Structure 1
Amino acid sequence: MKAKDYQKILQELSGIVDEGVHVVDARGKSIIYNEAMASLEKTNRQDVLGKPFQEAFAHIPPEESSLYRALTENRATINQHQTYRNKYGKEITAINSTIPVEVEGQVIAAIEIGKDITEIKSMSDTILKLQKESINPRRPDKPRIKHYSFQNLIGENKAFKEVVEKAKKAAKTDASVFIYGETGTGKELFAQSIHFAGERSDQPFLAQNCAALPESLLEGILFGTERGGFTGAVDRAGLFEQASGGTLLLDEISAMPYDLQSKLLRVLQEDYIRRVGGNKDIPIDVRIIATVNESPQSLIESGALRKDLYYRLNIVNITIPPLRERLDDLPLLVDSFLEKHNKRYGKEVWMASDGALEKLKNHSYPGNIRELENIIMSAVSLADKEHVLTEKQIQIQEAYHEASANTDFEPEKESMDQYLQRMERAIIKSSLAASNGNISRTAEKLGIKRQTLQHKLKKYEL
């Protein structure tokens, strides 16, 4: 096979992948530049293909180009976070991997794979800005993030009260806290209650969902960035610095990439951080509260959570019981949510009928307290002049039940293939509802790729 044949194969391959692909030869001429890369960089392919890199991207200094370094220094760059401007001045943020291609000691080409994260970068900047404003608001009249305390933890169930008492004891210490509770059980309420009842209550409380961002951005958000550390980097404090003296909540810590968990463990052991791209050690004084929504043991066994990090964080362990195990608290919770949402919607629904309570008690609540509140909120918002919440007003999402309903296989009514598809649809619908519509979380729970789940959602019109 001739070299041109290989190049044709690579061109065709690059045209069907989602990531941007840019290949330059030993002279720096662009020989492959696919549509995905052109879309990422908001550039016309014809302005790049067949032209020297330094001509097509004259606005980028050679020393800042990972492609140029790969060619001239035989240096690979893996998953580097880059922010730069294209030739039209449009700011682009991407995660790029660039590798030199070497044959018999000579670099004959360089390949760059890019993934557009411009929108995610914008979101991460907004997160840090909002976190900073929540610590030092410029306007005293600006709405603040609501602070929760132990008074917001409602329940008389014995097991629940024991957990609350344990959390109150934890508030009197400075030890790390590890909270396990299913989705919707109120993990952040517990975390905030612990913080605001402790000695750090007048210091910042910051929270970051570890599942919300890719590793490259999450690392910068946690530890900050140093100017010059990578293309487009600026001097910016991360959450550890912003939360100095206070508490940092790491929600869904098992979603944090494994390598980043290792870096976090080192930070917790040594009590200092180093910004991404920096070389200066910065002392920190931050209390960590971490949460997971699956059994820690199962997360460790599956490799989602480092065992050594778990033991470092699990100084105080709090396990929040799910709502199905404390249904005796349901009347108290219903009354509380009625009062809350009456004020919100200007209604006067002051109590729930026996029939309504009975219907609510017969539900399994995979979404826990959050699901119950959504049910009450929906009923109150749609009420007219009623003062009593009736059974008919309670609308429970049947999607939660669908996976377990009608599971019998009846050959006279459907084929095996139809039965399996019906079950698959029901399981996906139930898991999606339990994850509050979050596709990434649903895919993770089902053990399939996000793209596979999206295909099935389209297939089953969900």
Structure 2
Amino acid sequence: MTDTLSTLKHIYETILNKVDAGIHAVDETGKTIIYNEKMTKMELMDEQDVLHKNLLDVFMFKENQQSTLVQALQKGKETVNVKQTYFNNQGQEITTINNTFPILKDGVIQGAVEIAQDVTKLERLIRQNIRQKGNTRFTFDSIIGSSQAVHDVIEDAKRATRTPSYVLIIGETGTGKELFAQSIHNGSSRSSAPFISQNCAALPDNLIESLLFGTKRGAFTGAMDNPGLFEQAQGGTLLLDEINSLNPNLQAKLLRVLQEKTVRRIGDTVDKPVNVRVIANMNEDPIDAIAENRLRKDLYYRLGVVTLFIPPLRERKEDIIELTKFFIKKYNDLFQMNVKTVDHQVMSSFLSYDWPGNVRELEHIIEGAMNLVMDEDVIHYSHLPFQYRTKFQLKQHEHFENKASSDATSYPSAFHPSLPLKEQLLAFEAECIKQTLEQHRHNISKSAKILGLTRQSLQYRMKRLNIRSK
């Protein structure tokens, strides 16, 4: 008898775990009694996280939504082919198509069972396609980071969605300038109209002029009647990346379009009205670009009605942990992997590195490392691309070499025992900036260079800390 029961139990468990559907059953108290392997994969959880625990203690549901299992258990309600979105114990969103039934004995509910098909990835793709309408897929929700620096830029960018004013976005390569540009477009009343992006450094001057303003048949050999990007973006947004790469003559023509809100095709004599919001990107300090004649001052003033400075990653290192988690999840989905985190040595290296390539560089490192991961669920130092292991080692060597001299350096004293750590750090930062400004006669450019900041970043910090330049 015992052997028979053992065999039946083995058959029962094999069937449960081989069937291509998630199966989740609860008893009359709502505690899980069956949770098969397919369901663990769908919900990205281990069996021990769910078995013998109350359903509502493990999973979270959106406001005004109920678990189909709970409805079956409490109300005896059957559901067939019902889509349900909920969250696992890590807060990850799961979407399934459910068939749910109460388990009855003599008319009394003894429990409930759910048979589910995973549509999480399909749902994600549908959302992405909806967001990509108008050639954009990024919104403010796409911006990863909870640091104060990023939060302030997001708030300023959100305010810019209310008006049609031109926007100038300044940030180093890889900081996410186009992400902010798309978010502004998608958050504005122009979201249903075209969003067109053009890198001004990607084409020679004669081609970029034709592309921007359009051409009239016969204007030059082979010229046809073609609308330019301004006409194509009518009613929407035109993003001009690396605006400072345009030659001064083209910048003057662009300025005329921005001021007059009309465009004239090359070879034409007629001006056409255009209703286009222009967002321009730059990867250098505009003051430097103006001083070195790479940017017209009048164009800068016209474009910079709203100016956003995107902080480099080295100035928002508190976001590295969150960004690392995000990119691991992204490439888990793409590569069908289950990497969970990076080890302590890798994270320590990330936090000590200067990130000249910013967020884009961090993403490339994570992607490269995950290509080297085999069966592990943790990224170790040995998984990092070779060139970065070398860079990190050099950085650590420099750190230890400079430690003695840095220990001897006289830092400003800003210690206030009664203040919490965050306020002490702000006070220390303010004193560092004040002393550096005093030492360099309040020359912003020199002070920024000494502090290892860009001019805009120093000005941002001075504004945040209420420090005035004399």
TM-score range, shorter chain: 0.5 to 0.7
Measure the CA separation in 2 of the matches of 1:212 and 1:255: 9
Q: Which runs of 5+ in 2 are unaligned?
A: 1-129, 399-470
Q: Is this contact kept in 1: 2:166–2:277, CA < 8 A?
A: yes
Identity %: 47
Letter aligned with residue 234 of structure 1: M
Q: Does residue 280 of the first structure (1) align with residue 280 of the second (2)?
A: no
In the alignment, which residue of structure 1 is the partner of 2:167?
A: 177
Aligned residue runs from structure 1 range 128-143, under 5 A: none
Q: Is this contact kept in 2: 1:224–1:276, CA < 8 A?
A: yes
Q: Does residue 393 of the first structure (1) align with residue 393 of the second (2)?
A: no
Equivalent of residue 347 in structure 1, options 337, 362, 367? 337
TM-score (norm 1): 0.55
Q: Is this contact kept in 1: 2:136–2:186, CA < 8 A?
A: no
In the alignment, which residue of structure 2 is the partner of 1:358?
A: 348
Letter aligned with residue 221 of structure 1: L
The verdict on how the C-alpha distance between 1:149 and 1:249 changes in structure 2, with shifts beyond 3 A counting, is same
Query: Which secondary structure does the structure 2 equivalent of 1:318 belong to?
Result: strand
Equivalent of residue 305 in structure 1, options 295, 303, 309? 295
Instruction: Give 1:406 shift.
Output: 10
Measure the CA separation in 2 of the matches of 1:403 and 1:180: 30
The verdict on how the C-alpha distance between 1:396 and 1:306 changes in structure 2, with shifts beyond 3 A counting, is farther
Q: Is this contact kept in 2: 1:243–1:286, CA < 8 A?
A: yes
In the alignment, which residue of structure 2 is the partner of 1:458?
A: none
In the alignment, which residue of structure 1 is the partner of 2:139?
A: 149
Measure the CA separation in 1 of the matches of 2:153 and 2:217: 45
The verdict on how the C-alpha distance between 1:364 and 1:396 changes in structure 2, with shifts beyond 3 A counting, is farther
In the alignment, which residue of structure 2 is the partner of 1:215?
A: 205
Structure with greater Cα Rg: 2
Q: Is this contact kept in 2: 1:348–1:385, CA < 8 A?
A: no
Task: Provide, for residues 425-457 of structure 1, a one-character-per-residue CA deviation record: whole Å limited to 9, x for no partner.
Answer: xxxxxxxxxxxxxxxxxxxxxxxxxxxxxxxxx
Letter aligned with residue 249 of structure 2: D
Task: Provide, for residues 39-71 of structure 1, a one-character-per-residue CA deviation record: whole Å limited to 9, x for no partner.
Answer: xxxxxxxxxxxxxxxxxxxxxxxxxxxxxxxxx
Instruction: Give 1:355 shift.
Output: 1.8
Measure the CA separation in 1 of the matches of 2:344 and 2:147: 20
RMSD: 2.5
Q: Which runs of 5+ in 1 are unaligned?
A: 1-139, 408-462
Letter aligned with residue 366 of structure 2: I
TM-score (norm 2): 0.54
Instruction: Give 1:147 shift.
Output: 1.2
Query: Which secondary structure does the structure 1 equivalent of 2:226 belong to?
Result: coil
In the alignment, which residue of structure 2 is the partner of 1:255?
A: 245
Measure the CA separation in 1 of the matches of 2:260 and 2:285: 28
Letter aligned with residue 182 of structure 1: E
Measure the CA separation in 1 of the matches of 2:219 and 2:309: 40
Instruction: Give 1:403 shift.
Output: 11
Letter aligned with residue 289 of structure 2: L
Equivalent of residue 194 in structure 1, options 184, 187, 209? 184
Measure the CA separation in 1 of the matches of 2:397 and 2:339: 36
Instruction: Give 1:277 shift.
Output: 1.0
The alignment covers a number of residue pairs equal to 268
Query: Which secondary structure does the structure 2 equivalent of 1:397 belong to?
Result: helix
Task: Provide, for residues 83-121 of structure 1, a one-character-per-residue CA deviation record: whole Å limited to 9, x for no partner.
Answer: xxxxxxxxxxxxxxxxxxxxxxxxxxxxxxxxxxxxxxx
Task: Provide, for residues 216-268 of structure 1, a one-character-per-residue CA deviation record: whole Å limited to 9, x for no partner.
Answer: 10000001110011111000011000000000000000001110000000111
Measure the CA separation in 2 of the matches of 1:163 and 1:143: 25
In the alignment, which residue of structure 2 is the partner of 1:164?
A: 154
Query: Which secondary structure does the structure 2 equivalent of 1:329 belong to?
Result: helix
Letter aligned with residue 312 of structure 1: R
Q: Is this contact kept in 2: 1:353–1:388, CA < 8 A?
A: yes
Query: Which secondary structure does the structure 1 equivalent of 2:272 belong to?
Result: strand
Instruction: Give 1:354 shift.
Output: 1.8
In the alignment, which residue of structure 2 is the partner of 1:268?
A: 258
Q: Does residue 294 of the first structure (1) align with residue 279 of the second (2)?
A: no
Aligned residue runs from structure 1 range 24-43, under 5 A: none
